[in-house]
Amino acid sequence: MKLYATIGAGLVIAAATVVTAQTTPGDAIKAQCAKAATVAEFWHGFTSASQQNVLNALAVEFNKTAGDACVLPIPQGNYSELSTKLKASFAAGKVPAMAQAFENNIAQYLEADKVANLGSLGVRTQYLQKRFVEAATFNGVLYGVPFNKSVQVMYYNKDLLKKFNAPVPGTLEEFAKVARDVSAKAGAPVFWFQPSSSTYAAIFLSLGGKYETAGKLKLNTDTGVKALQWLMDLVAAKAAKPITSGFINGQLSDTYGFSFDTSAGLPFYKSAAKFNLGVLPLVGAKRGVPGTALIQGTNVVIFKDANAAQEKVAAKFLNFSLQARNSAIFATQTGYVPSSDLASETPEFKSFIEKTPEYAAVIKQARFSDYEPRISDWEAIRFNILETQIKEAIAGKKTAKDALDTAQKQAEDLLAGRTK
């Protein structure tokens, strides 16, 4: 991976100094934890080897400082599988010390009274991005820290635009026009998208949409209909292609033109693209003002049911991870937004941004970004309800309005306890 070769030096190479050349950071952790008196499990939703290596290398470095304790990252499948397994662990009474959690997951785990107050465990937030910290704070209590938070950005194929003499679009309206023109000339849809709640949110938020008004969830707003229609029109014009399985970055070809995707995809896009890759903030309603990205990626929570020694190690690990240098290395190796405000002052960050100017789009986009609702049923709503309806509309089975009206009705039924 290009990104690793250039900037991966920090943690990955550092890890290699404690182990032999053939072993991975994961092997090193096993050795560290085998002799530890306290093992703090960290359940996570990273499925790719590269992200797992970055996380494991961080744990290796921490473990070297942790005396007779260790942090043991354990992959649990993707994010949804992770939250399912965590809920099963609550029921079985075998919870890990810590885990990744979206804001809505925190709300749900709080209802089950499972998450620990991080402030009282000594987790410090003084130099962390305020918005991220606020999003993991409920009723004034900190329950999570931003660990790997992403924003969506616009990835594009510079060569394709050049080939057809097309401009880089500056607004959503221009984007639609350029996508149509280039697709017509290329003979294939050039805007690739996952028909998901995430892609929909990029357009919806960029058009000024809000999921909640006065604390009430509203999925079928006029802006929502407009956002879905915008996407449906591009599909109908053969300018947009739904990617229905797998990551877009795993399928890039020379007819790929554009996508709106998580910044955590940056290392994957960079290593997969056989063309000149462009990365810019999302397009919005007005030229010169970026669109509004969806904030994704997760926080880390500590569980109450872990024992006191494990909780203490977990809290120490979070403070370690969020130090400026470690935050900078983690973020730049993965494409996530640095959690620490001080990360950008570090030499690691500065040298990375020089070699990888695309990452500037991620940093800029972070100022133009928003969250999905922090309600405990949101995971079910975003996947089982909203996304199902988005897919129906994209497949031409429903109008945008019918799809979002159905989503609203189903969400209300779920929230009122009429359905599960």
d(CA 354, CA 332): 12
- Say whether residue 388 binds ligand FGO (CB under 6 A): no
Residue nearer to ligand FGO on the CB measure, 213 or 245? 245
Near ligand FGO by CB under 6 A: residue from 6, 47, 271, 376: 47
CA distances from 284 to 50, 76, 173, 176, 197 (A): 32, 36, 8, 12, 18
The whole-angstrom distance between residue 303's C-alpha and the CA centroid of its chain comes to 22
What's the closest the beta carbon of residue 56 comes to ligand FGO, in angstroms? 14
Strands (DSSP E) contained in 96-247 are: 98-101, 137-138, 141-142, 145-157, 191-193, 212-213, 216-217, 240-242
- Say whether residue 6 binds ligand FGO (CB under 6 A): no
- Say whether residue 262 binds ligand FGO (CB under 6 A): yes
DSSP collapsed to 3 states, 312-336? HHHHHHHHHHCCHHHHHHHHHHHCC
Q: Tokens in use for 67? A: 């005396």
What are 157's strand-pairing partners? 277
Residue nearer to ligand FGO on the CB measure, 89 or 310? 89
d(CA 44, CA 33): 17
- Say whether residue 48 binds ligand FGO (CB under 6 A): yes
What's the closest the beta carbon of residue 76 comes to ligand FGO, in angstroms? 11
Residue nearer to ligand FGO on the CB measure, 114 or 316? 114
Residue nearer to ligand FGO on the CB measure, 32 or 104? 104
With a CB cutoff of 8 Å and minimum separation 6, the contacts of 222 are: none
Q: With contacts defined by CB under 6 A, name the span among 77-85, 88-96, 211-219, 352-360 that binds ligand FGO.
A: 77-85
Residue nearer to ligand FGO on the CB measure, 176 or 331? 331
d(CA 296, CA 283): 18
- What is the DSSP code string of 100-121? EE-HHHHHHHHHTT-B--TTTT
Q: Do 299 and 100 contact (CB within 8 A), yes or no?
A: yes
- Say whether residue 76 binds ligand FGO (CB under 6 A): no
What's the closest the beta carbon of residue 156 comes to ligand FGO, in angstroms? 16
- Say whether residue 80 binds ligand FGO (CB under 6 A): yes
Near ligand FGO by CB under 6 A: residue from 73, 96, 265, 373: 265
What's the closest the beta carbon of residue 331 comes to ligand FGO, in angstroms? 12
Question: How many chain residues are in contact with ligand FGO, going by CB under 6 A?
Answer: 25
d(CA 350, CA 164): 35
- Say whether residue 155 binds ligand FGO (CB under 6 A): no
What's the closest the beta carbon of residue 248 comes to ligand FGO, in angstroms? 8
d(CA 84, CA 79): 9
Binding site for ligand FGO (CB under 6 A): 46-48, 51, 78-80, 83, 102, 104, 148, 150, 198, 247, 249-250, 262, 264-265, 268, 296-297, 378-379, 382
